[in-house]
Amino acid sequence: MKLQSSPIQKVQFEGYSFYLKRDDLLHPDFSGNKARKLYYFFQIPLKIKKVISYGSMQSNAMYSLAVLAKMKGWQFEYHTRINEELLQNPKGNLKAALEKGMKIIDIGHLTMDIGEKNLLSECKIIDDTLIVPEGVRCKEAEYGIKILAQEIIEWANEKNIEKLNIFLPSGTGTTALYLQKTLSSVRCPMSNVYTVPCVGDKEYLKKQFFALEADEKFHPTILEPPKRYRFGKLYEELFEIWLNLKKQTGVEFDLLYDPIAFSTILSNLQCLMSNAFLYIHQGGVLGNITMEERYKKKFATIS
C-alpha cells in the first residue's frame, strides 16, 4: 500500500482564514500522524512476527499499531494498566484495536516507576519482535514525516507561497521535530514550524527534541498555552473551542490536542498570522467518542 497525499483546504475560524492539512483523511484505517510515524515499518520489509508496545488504554498510537499489525499479519501485544470497566465495555480506539486482534496485557500490578522508561526513544527488534516506544517516538518516524514535508513543499510551490508558518500540537514532539528538520533543508518555502506541548511542559518537550536531534537549529519553535492544561483533563473552554471549530470549519478535530493548539494559536495570532498559515490535522478523532462522553457528563449544560 502507498498512502496518497492528504488534501489541503482553506478554512475560517474566528474571522481568520488559513490552510488545513487533512492528515485525518490519509486513509480510512491508517491515518493521522501515527500513520506517518509508522510508515517506515509499513514500507520496509522486516522479518518479524510480533509487535509489542505500551501506553494508555485509549491511545491513538495503540490503534494505529493494531492496524499496521493486522495489515502485515503480525501479532500485536499491548501492555497497559488495565481499567476493567473500560475493558468490559470497550469504545473508541480500544474497541477498534481489539477488533483488529490486539492482545492486551495488564501491567497494573507493576509498582516500578515507568517514568524514566517513557523516555525510551528507540524502536528495537529483538529476535522476531519489534518493540515500539510509547507514542512511536523513534528515529524511524522520520521516514514518513519526510513525505508529509514533501507534500507541503510541493503544495506551497504550486501556490507560490514563499513564507509559511506551520502549526501542530505535540505529545512526544516527534512529528513537529522531523517536520521542521526536513523543511529546514529546503530553501523554498521558508517554513517555521510552531508547536505547543500538550503532554508535559516546555522543558519536557525540549528534552524530547534533544533525544531525537542534537542540533538545536532543527528544533521547532515552542509556544506555550495561555494557561497550564493537564493532558486528558477536562476544561470547559477547551470543549467550547472544539465545538466552535466544528461549527465554523465543518471539520471534526481531536479533543485532546487540537483545542490546546487553537487556544495557543488564538493567543499568538500576531506572530502566527504574519505569513501564510497552515495547521496540520493529525487525526485522532476515534478517541473523541470517550472524551465527548466525559465532557457531556461533566458539563451537562453544554452541548
- Does 45 sit behind a cis peptide bond, omega within 30 degrees of 0 on the bond before it? no
Sole binder of ligand PLP in the list 55, 225, 259, 284 (CB under 6 A): 284
- Rule CB under 6 A: say whether 33 interacts with ligand PLP: yes
> What is the rounded CA–CA span in Å between residue 139 and residue 11?
33
Cell readout for 208 is 524530547
**Pick 195 or 268: Cβ nearer ligand PLP:** 195
- How many other β-carbons are positioned within 10 Å of the β-carbon of residue 214? 8
- The yes or no reply on residue 259 touching ligand PLP (CB under 6 A) is no
SS3 2: coil
According to the binding rule CB under 6 A, does residue 175 interact with ligand PLP? Answer: yes
| C-beta separation of 195 from 260 below 8 A | no
Nearest approach, Cβ of residue 21 and ligand PLP (Å) = 13
Q: Could you identify the residue written with the cell 498559515?
A: 277
Considering only residues 143 to 172 of the shown chain, the ones binding ligand PLP according to CB under 6 A are 169-172
User: Does 32 contact ligand PLP by CB under 6 A?
Assistant: yes
DSSP state, residue 161:
-
Q: What b-and-e string marks burial along 78-94, b requiring 16 or more CB atoms within 10 Å of the CB? A: bbbeeeeebeeebebbb
Which is nearer to ligand PLP, 189 or 197 (by Cβ)?
197
Q: What is the smallest separation between the CB atom of 63 and ligand PLP, expressed in angstroms?
A: 9
Ranked by CB distance to ligand PLP, the top (closest) residue is 284
Stretch that binds ligand PLP, among 10-18, 49-57, 67-75, 281-289 (CB under 6 A): 281-289
Q: Is 59 noted as a catalytic residue in this protein? A: yes
| Phi and psi, residue 36, nearest 5° | -60, -45
- Position among 223, 254, 272, 279 found at the interface with ligand PLP (CB under 6 A): 254
Q: Which of residues 85-144 bind ligand PLP (CB under 6 A)?
A: 135
Q: Confirm if 165 and 272 have CB atoms less than 8 A apart.
A: yes
Positions in the binding site for ligand PLP (CB under 6 A) = 32-34, 60, 135, 169-176, 254, 257, 282-284
Where in the sequence numbering do the catalytic residues fall? 59
